[in-house]
Amino acid sequence: MHRTLRALAAVLTLATAALLVPTATAYATPESSVRTQEQRIEVPGGPGTTGPVSLDTTLYLPATTPAPAVLVAHGFGGSKVAVDADARDLADSGFVVLAWSARGFGASTGQISLDAPDHEVADARALIDWLAARPEVTQDGPGDPRVGVTGGSYGGALALLLAGYDRRVDAIAPVITWNDLGQALFPNAATTAALPVDTPAHGASGSDGVFKRGWAGLLFSAGASSSDDPANPTGAALGGSPAPADASPPGPGSSAGAAPPTATPGAPVPCGRFTAELCAAYTDVATTGRLSPAVAALLQRSSPSTVTDRITAPTLLVQGEQDTLFGLDQADANARQIAANGTPVKVLWYGGGHDGGAPGDSVREAIDDWLTFHLAHTGPDPGTGFAYTVQSGVRTGGSAPNSRTVEATAYPGISGAAAVETHRLALEGSAQPVVNPAGGNPAAITSLPGVGSSLGSLAGRLSAVTAEVPGQTAQFRTAALESPTLVAGVPRVDVSVSRVPGQPAPAEAVLFAKTFEVSPDGLRTLLGSAVAPIRVPVPADGSAARVSVALPGVVAPVEAGNHLVVAVSTTDQAFAGPTEPAVWQIGLTGDDALTVPVVPGEAVTASTVPLVPLIGIGAVLALALLAWGASRLIGRRAAAGAEAAADPAAPPLEVRDLAKTYRGGFSAVKGVSFTVRAGMVLGLLGPNGAGKTTVLRMLMGLIRPSAGTITAFGQPVGPGAPVLARIGAFVEGPGFLPHLSGLDNLRLYWAATGRPAEEAHLDEALQIAGLGASVQRRVGTYSQGMRQRLAIAQAMLGLPELLVLDEPTNGLDPPQIHAMREVLHRYAAGGRTVLVSSHLLAEVEQTCSHVVVMHQGQVVADGTVDDIIAGGGAATFGVDAPDQAAAVLNALTGVHAVAIEGSSVHAELNGTPRASAVRALVEGGVDVTSAGPRRRLEDAFLQLVGEDAGKMDGAP
């Protein structure tokens, strides 16, 4: 338990440290050739201050001026240093860029007023005035520079507010920011708007929200400890150098910006660089957990929702899909309100956020394109569409999750946008009592600020700390989904909340709703890494309150076969919940359905799977390339008339005197010959090092033989041979892209061959392989047996006349091996041919009709399974009189080694036909109940290759 608590503390510490890094996009980029100028710009202090504020700024000049300007604002807790890479990138694109440390941050003076119009917004307006006097900046008129604004989180809100207060702003690109700060920090999912489309307008700040305690505390800590000292990044909050005089909170009764109260030199100050007004507001909400009208008004002044109705600058809104601070609902509200003015709006959701990381190169390029078109009036029109990222959740080799981008023509809810599709999923579950413990402790752990749901997932696997506390959660689940479902937006559910007779209950319930995806093996994934708090007044007369809950906005692909679970809990450690004990009855309303939105669009990009040790991915890509090359070669040779005519009577495979000698003289294959005829299921056997895989690689044209020939259907086989299009294979293990479904993997593989889609015979291959609905699931969730069956289906695409499989039952359990055996039998029953290389002797005996045994690079046996087994003449007879039968057999010429074992008699017939022995027994008065070879394939194999030729499954 102590180790667990230390681990949780470490995670929280890392989250706090991460918060001090600004949330604006910041990347390590090569040194830029742009010129920079450092200067301090004085701006008016604003109401309640005693003097001007000095802003620490950097001007980035491109190679060619005059040019449009871009203001780059940093995130909360950061400074101009944090956006240096972004500023240089924009300057390299031809913009004059101005970055600055906001008042109260970095080396700038002043106190933090939280993007207040009379302070931080007024500072940015003064910076536009400064740019208007610069000859390097393109001017639209006297005092009117051509200027855009971008920034993340705190800087994103500044961009929106500045565009609302200053018409000189020509374009903006705010990133992961808020619309209504009160609603963002005090959400109530029962009243906020769902997105996207056909929902009420976004709710305003009010006193009925639930305090986002965890995030608020970290934000206040980051502001209170702001410093640009790399040796002491947390500044005064950790007892470092005290903040400047005008950054300390004023004493009681004094105005903001007045002299601070007396403090011990070098000691930390309670509110750091926040204004006294904000310091008092945080103290109030942190102690009461409620949003008073005064604090609501304070947060409202810093909310873009107050100015969105007058923003005319074209707006690119970028929001993160992994963000428990400012969710997708905040960008949704900004988009709707700004577009209502007729202002061009484009919306991008990317797979990150305050919990998931900064935007990648594609988003940075989109911002650059937006500003280039709307400021420099060059480049293609980026339009006003909508794009979102669909992440698989699969991480490979420590990389970011694999993902794809889906584009729609316009953001839903904006005029001209396509309607949103909705799916209604029936929920199961009766009404359930849930307990709110005294003190609200223990509380559920679902996420941590800046970390998201990773801690909740970890906690769910620990016995000492659980993500969901028993007795505190009501759960309702859907049936297993029959097909993959992409959730894009805000799911909704209607629930009822009532009192339990005889149990304590206050006037209102505070609850936390969330959606989990649950796989058949019980693995739970919290969609969006977020929960939706609800504050619900509950009638005292025992009747139920019915509320419509907007669950957290997400983009989440849900796999076929998985369930969705809606959970409603009484506690969550990230929020300030009630401390008085209570018991509530939580149930579904008469609707009993989860409404899931989907934004229709077109998948336009997919992330590249990194080169990591995923077994078989190299093999599948090599085979796809081989098939593509073969198809291209077929076309070229057909056009040239060089392709030889096929012989309809030729066997599917004929190997003659095949040899492979490597440099150094090692001979892996020596004079191998065998023929595979139509309808056969032929097993290629041999101990390790016998040369089986080398033969298969030469058969598939992957390597060239040193001598001999291979022909398929009468045509020569070699690298790029046209006849390879008639052969399906997987060699050395299957390889698939784990973030795609089985069906998508098959389609992608076939597309790589360059052959028409109708020739794939996808349905027939899937039917033979017997995957059923599992083919709709992501391959990353497949068992080994399912992967092998999918590999068989892939090899069967196009229904090749010859199917070559290397160890198809490798790693399977007995039921899976039996199922694979049936797959191969069904395929051969259609008149096609199968060649199987395997080390499972007992399985080959049951699966194959013919066997080729290799040893030390040579064929040592070739024939039917029965012929190989009976090759030594050993036979077993089931009889009614064993002693009499033994006497009859001993009397036959050449028969020896007769032995009795219960009711069976064993004998070496030594060339005597088994039928002759049976006839002799019957004529001697012995009733014969059975007669067959004594040996198994294992015995024949060991006799052929020797006891020490190499261990194989089934061999001693």
One domain for residues 856 and 896: no
Tokens of 353: 């956020």
One domain for residues 358 and 218: no
Q: What is the DSSP letter of 915?
A: H
Q: Which of 443, 17, 444, 54 lies closest to 244 in space, CA to CA?
A: 54
Q: What is the DSSP letter of 121?
A: I
Q: Which of the four pLDDT bands, split at 50, 70 and 90, describes residue 956?
A: very low
Q: How confident is the model at residue 456, as a pLDDT?
A: 39
Average pLDDT over residues 545-561: 88
Whether 511 is in a domain gets the answer yes
Q: Please identify, among 290, 319, 338, the residue that sits at the C-terminal boundary of a domain.
A: 290
In the chain, % of residues over pLDDT 70: 76
Give the number of other CB atoms < 10 A from CB of residue 386.
Answer: 27
Q: How confident is the model at residue 207, as a pLDDT?
A: 52
Asked whether residue 720 carries a pLDDT value surpassing 60, the answer given is yes
pLDDT digits (tens, 9 = 90+) for 529-549: 889 999 999 998 889 999 999
SS3 content of the chain, % helix, strand, coil (to 5): 30, 25, 45
Domain that holds residue 402: 31-201+303-418
pLDDT digits (tens, 9 = 90+) for 808-832: 777 666 776 777 778 788 888 777 8
Average pLDDT over residues 501-506: 87
One domain for residues 673 and 819: yes
Tokens of 640: 């040239």
One domain for residues 359 and 483: no
Whether 663 is in a domain gets the answer yes
Q: Which residues of 331-363 are buried (b: 16+ CB within 10 A; e: fewer)?
A: bbbbbbbbbeeebbbbbbbbbbbbbbbbbbeeb
What is the pTM for the complete model shown?
0.62
One domain for residues 414 and 426: no
pLDDT digits (tens, 9 = 90+) for 741-765: 888 888 888 887 778 888 888 888 8
- Measured CA to CA in angstroms, residue 834 lies from 643, 796, 818, 823 at distances of 25, 11, 17, 11
Whether 626 is in a domain gets the answer no
One domain for residues 663 and 570: no
CATH number at residue 909: 3.30.70.100
Query: What is the total residue count of the chain?
Result: 956
Whether 206 is in a domain gets the answer no
Tokens of 74: 């940093």
Asked whether residue 84 carries a pLDDT value surpassing 90, the answer given is yes
Whether 146 is in a domain gets the answer yes
Q: What is the DSSP letter of 694?
A: H
Tokens of 352: 């990150």
Q: Which contiguous run of DSSP H or E holds residue 814?
A: helix 814-829
pLDDT digits (tens, 9 = 90+) for 45-83: 999 888 999 999 999 999 999 999 999 999 998 999 999
pLDDT digits (tens, 9 = 90+) for 369-414: 999 999 999 988 999 988 888 875 443 333 344 567 878 777 876 6
pLDDT digits (tens, 9 = 90+) for 572-631: 988 998 889 999 999 998 778 898 887 777 666 544 333 222 323 333 344 444 444 444
In the chain, % of residues over pLDDT 90: 35
Q: How confident is the model at residue 450, as a pLDDT?
A: 65
Whether 18 contacts 221, CB under 8 Å: no
Whether 324 contacts 354, CB under 8 Å: yes
**Cα–Cα distance between 946 and 692 in angstroms, integer?**
17
Tokens of 425: 């999923």
One domain for residues 40 and 133: yes
Whether 2 is in a domain gets the answer no
Average pLDDT over residues 225-242: 35
One domain for residues 563 and 501: yes
CATH number at residue 471: 2.60.120.260
Q: Please identify, among 418, 434, 456, the residue that sits at the C-terminal boundary of a domain.
A: 418
CATH number at residue 794: 3.40.50.300
Q: Which of 678, 706, 484 lies closest to 596 in space, CA to CA?
A: 484
Q: Which of the four pLDDT bands, split at 50, 70 and 90, describes residue 937?
A: low
Q: Which of 85-99, 421-435, 631-645, 784-798 has the lowest mean pLDDT?
A: 631-645
Tell me which residue has tokens 């750091």: 272
Q: Please identify, among 813, 835, 865, the residue that sits at the C-terminal boundary of a domain.
A: 865
pLDDT digits (tens, 9 = 90+) for 684-718: 887 777 888 888 888 887 788 889 999 998 899 87
Asked whether residue 840 carries a pLDDT value surpassing 90, the answer given is no
Name which residue leads in pLDDT, 453 or 109.
109
Asked whether residue 199 carries a pLDDT value surpassing 50, the answer given is no
Whether 15 is in a domain gets the answer no
CATH number at residue 159: 3.40.50.1820
Q: What are phi and psi of 405, to 5 degrees?
A: -110, 135
One domain for residues 824 and 698: yes
One domain for residues 840 and 882: no
Domains in the chain: how many in total? 5
Asked whether residue 233 carries a pLDDT value surpassing 60, the answer given is no
3-state secondary structure 10-30: HHHHHHHHHHCCCCCCCCCCC
Q: How confident is the model at residue 240, as a pLDDT?
A: 27
Q: How confident is the model at residue 733, as a pLDDT?
A: 59
Q: Which of the four pLDDT bands, split at 50, 70 and 90, describes residue 721?
A: confident
Q: Which of the four pLDDT bands, split at 50, 70 and 90, describes residue 430?
A: very high
Enumerate the β-bridge partners of residue 353.
Answer: 357
Q: Which of the four pLDDT bands, split at 50, 70 and 90, describes residue 870?
A: low
Whether 19 is in a domain gets the answer no
Q: Which of the four pLDDT bands, split at 50, 70 and 90, describes residue 945?
A: low
Q: Is the peptide bond before 808 cis (omega within 30 degrees of 0)?
A: no
Q: How confident is the model at residue 403, as a pLDDT?
A: 64
Asked whether residue 246 carries a pLDDT value surpassing 90, the answer given is no
One domain for residues 597 and 662: no
Tokens of 774: 């599992």
One domain for residues 328 and 276: no
